[in-house]
Structure 1
């Protein structure tokens, strides 16, 4: 099997030619010296670590899995050592706040490292990914004392983080959770309850493990407004500062899962564990959403990353595997890459992956603008775009990531179903990304039912106007691309207006949600492909190889963008086709 090749060349094209990375960073205080050259140097080194250290552990980690023995979690051979090397090299603090020891690099550099981590070793990438989300929640909502005590060691990677939301009876409906928080006289709390599906809940990497736990205070009202957030460390600081007093929680079991076997997904029991309030009482879900939204974007990047590596493996196989005859019947056996159906699978995956990477980078740049731009209005506008696109990135990139891994497995034929080739692991691992951090159906309902009405409904209209302006600015020579994308954008605008008119009808929004999100995502990718084709036309000669992006853009427009017509029709059909069935007819 071919080794993983980090997509540094494509990333360089996107940063330099498509998005003008240097100019964007020059306008953001604190990032003026972060150039594309620096970013690519950092990412090339990160990609080397992923390819040389993490990918070789991917299959063995899947086969060995995690173990729970006498209450202690053991990760697969090599994982603890790899994590320590990862932390010691500074990768855990790449985008961390310099005030607490982080390197303070832009979000866009972080998400591109996250993609490579997800390609090389999906299970491993969750350890630093969850820690970073916990760091963001603590950094935004905790008091100074908690920040000073926990952030430096979490950013350095000496300590890790986990989020503890889900309970067996509650699932996505967090308003039903029952975990209790009893206040103590010294300002701390005792946390009692059980949580399930807690990724990175325990491990053998050493150091503290900081859980962010949602729980209810004794006088809390029912529902989500009664939830508070607590920082619950595995080890408590003692008066001498050694920090080795074991807190009152334990791993009850490890979940037996379809995939990500090298990631310890824990059933956690909190038995009067000491916790510290993060943020305001009753505002825990608001604080946790800081972590959840960060994780939703991270999960979308996981879908992108695993689709990328599956494509790489499948393309390498298709070049080498000899089978069948050429289309004109004169040669054979030929590499299966010559067969139209194999090309369809690989090129469809390429169009979605490279388009998805572009959209993810654009979104990450908006996050950096929202955090750093000196003009409050520009920062606010960028923040709105991030809010609008978060469910799109999470759901569309993970849906496509799974579909791409399945098609990549199909390229191998029967060999793809056999463990020794590794493709079945990618399919199993990719599946979880559509489920956790809010299922993709929930993401779609967030987009159709809530995000479309932000700013009184103006937020999506602002985004569509931006897309339209940029597409219309493309060179006239790209008319065969811009005309279909503009037509699809007009359909998206009309469909959005129809949903906004029925915004008060929850059933209508929910019935339309999944199809609407896919429609939205395909049009957004069409916009990205116009930008990439325009950048290629402006910066390269007209040789065959130099036109690769334009050819992929044409393939996207010809074979994928037409799906928007069917999706529009499905959205506008309304809730009735679903609602007419009686319960006993389903």
Structure 2
């Protein structure tokens, strides 16, 4: 059976030694002292290891069941959910005015990794609630905030977002769901939504659906979409639950993975809904939720890679097969553990270096979110907007790849259910698809985010890398295998952007054909920067005689592997980009 140990030391290293969170000038960060974060992380680790992880296999094998309109979640899910709610974890970073704990998003992200690694499907139930909370918090009226948020933050009520319909996924301009005005100022919502995660379940007494729909006479396309709060159960003016609303679950999807989460077809038959924000401005409100979800899905990608890697590394330490080519490592046994073999070691190093680099990238991204929201930092807002499709697309592509590498480490055992790796692979696969497929992420990056404000955010990122290299030119550790690879990779990123600039106006297909490679090239540079920052922090601590020397030396060694063996992928991506659209578009559509 699979196991999970929360990586508290690794998370603490990034929080305090790399990001130096408590020293940052972000409101609320001064409170993030080691004693506080250690207490929070240790408690989250305990819940992850002892409560959530044991239910992961249960959720996968039992799945969710629809019975007479009610979705029954797997055995133990309700009890585990109640522990999460009672512990205040759903509102860890929510506004205290509505019952939240008011902690930074950075700490919530660190905790979120552990919860996802332990049980991704179960975590999704309250993850969607947090996204719905954020949308209402940003765009709802004060009356709506007071009516809906406290019970969502406490976990009494769940939350969802309803975008996709049978005839439209990414192209939301094709939405047909209608919102007819009622005399009392509310609306009656009619239509069908599909692929709604946590759309129906038995974990909470109510579910607050956020639904995109069209008001009669609305403009065509996305400019005519509005956002509505549509509760599963109607709520009276006194806050008491009333009659069931006209919203039902019409079916559950039979899926490759995340069996423990209910993916629903939702039918709205004149359901009572309440407009959020202004009419026809629903996309702006929904993107608040979607952008948060995209960062969260990026976290899911590497978090699944993290738990898969743990199990692969443990297997490699114990599985006896063959002999070390340099001489027996286990002379008293019939064979050596497979971790002695260079190809197995290569496999594990690829996993380890990705997971640890991705963790630093995701937490740095969370810091940028806090800088934007808490400090009103416009530059941080522009940078995290640019990086969001990279976090989502690159970390989920590589996270899935990491679960496959971990499965490969186990050989035939990885293909069996007993060891659990095949579940990690199946569960991770969805992260590349939902909240906008990774192809869409790359198009968003190149088509919208990269050219915004004349490419100001990209230039700021490149300057950030350049400044880091310049400031640390005299650092002996970084001179040994870190700075030159990072400089080279950043030049590849710059060259790719220049190719788009020179060729995209003449033929936009040149940019679009290279967008996926650009997203990956950018992601590799981000992880290279993270590894350089981690190596610097580790070297500085060793010089001061602080921390665990073995832990710190392992960080530097893993970073050197990453810079030497993984970061050069930027050159392959650049070559593909510079080949332009012709190789991609040359074949006639009829020949496929």
Q: What interval of TM-score do these two structures reach, taking the shorter chain for normalisation?
A: over 0.9
Q: Deviation string for 1:172-209 (max 9, x for gaps)? A: 11111100000011110000000100000010013210
Aligned pairs (5 A) from 1:175-324? 175-238=173-236, 241-324=239-322
Q: Deviation string for 1:484-518 (max 9, x for gaps)? A: 21011112112112213444443222211110010
8 Å Cα contact 1:452-1:500 kept in structure 2: no
8 Å Cα contact 1:169-1:176 kept in structure 2: yes
Return closer, same or farther for 1:90/1:241 CA change in 2, 3 Å cut-off.
closer
Q: Partner residue of 2:565?
A: 559
Structure 2 CA distance, aligned partners of 1:447 and 1:8? 32
8 Å Cα contact 1:80-1:204 kept in structure 2: yes
Q: Deviation string for 1:502-538 (max 9, x for gaps)? A: 4444322221111001001101111111111111111
Q: Partner residue of 1:356?
A: 358
Segment of structure 1 superposing worse, 475-484 or 176-185: 475-484
Instruction: Determine if the alignment matches structure 1 residue 392 to structure 2 residue 393.
Output: no
Structure 1 CA distance, aligned partners of 2:349 and 2:516? 24
Structure 1 CA distance, aligned partners of 2:237 and 2:522? 55
Q: Partner residue of 1:576?
A: 582
Aligned pairs (5 A) from 1:45-64? 45-64=43-62
8 Å Cα contact 1:449-1:503 kept in structure 2: no
SS in 1 for 2:268: strand
8 Å Cα contact 1:238-1:245 kept in structure 2: no
8 Å Cα contact 1:314-1:346 kept in structure 2: yes
SS in 1 for 2:267: strand
Instruction: Determine if the alignment matches structure 1 residue 511 to structure 2 residue 540.
Output: no
Structure 1 CA distance, aligned partners of 2:551 and 2:300? 29
8 Å Cα contact 2:252-2:263 kept in structure 1: yes
Length-normalised TM-score, structure 2: 0.96
Return closer, same or farther for 1:571/1:45 CA change in 2, 3 Å cut-off.
same
Q: Partner residue of 2:17?
A: 17
SS in 2 for 1:427: helix
Aligned residues: 580
SS in 1 for 2:450: helix
8 Å Cα contact 2:147-2:239 kept in structure 1: no
Return closer, same or farther for 1:31/1:489 CA change in 2, 3 Å cut-off.
closer
SS in 2 for 1:419: coil
Structure 2 CA distance, aligned partners of 1:207 and 1:96? 21
Q: Partner residue of 2:406?
A: 408
Structure 2 CA distance, aligned partners of 1:293 and 1:428? 24
- 1:242 deviates by 2.2
Q: Partner residue of 2:341?
A: 339
Structure 2 CA distance, aligned partners of 1:312 and 1:560? 20
Structure 2 CA distance, aligned partners of 1:45 and 1:52? 11
SS in 2 for 1:231: strand
- 1:298 deviates by 0.3
Q: 1:120 aligns with which of 100, 109, 118?
A: 118
Q: Partner residue of 2:492?
A: 491
SS in 2 for 1:93: coil
8 Å Cα contact 1:21-1:36 kept in structure 2: no
Structure 1 CA distance, aligned partners of 2:449 and 2:569? 23
Q: 2:143 aligns with which of 116, 141, 145?
A: 145
Unaligned runs of 5+ residues in structure 2 are: none
Structure 2 CA distance, aligned partners of 1:317 and 1:467? 38
8 Å Cα contact 2:294-2:435 kept in structure 1: yes
Structure 2 CA distance, aligned partners of 1:227 and 1:481? 48
- 1:328 deviates by 3.2
Instruction: Determine if the alignment matches structure 1 residue 476 to structure 2 residue 478.
Output: no
Structure 1 CA distance, aligned partners of 2:273 and 2:551? 58
Return closer, same or farther for 1:506/1:131 CA change in 2, 3 Å cut-off.
farther
Q: Partner residue of 1:161?
A: 159
Q: Deviation string for 1:274-330 (max 9, x for gaps)? A: 000011111111110000000000000001111100000111111111111111354
Return closer, same or farther for 1:545/1:18 CA change in 2, 3 Å cut-off.
closer
SS in 1 for 2:30: coil
Q: Partner residue of 1:5?
A: 5
Q: Deviation string for 1:566-585 (max 9, x for gaps)? A: 11010111111111111111
Structure 1 CA distance, aligned partners of 2:388 and 2:152? 25
8 Å Cα contact 2:155-2:204 kept in structure 1: no
Structure 2 CA distance, aligned partners of 1:60 and 1:2? 12
Structure 1 CA distance, aligned partners of 2:567 and 2:200? 44
- 1:466 deviates by 0.7
Structure 1 CA distance, aligned partners of 2:9 and 2:516? 33
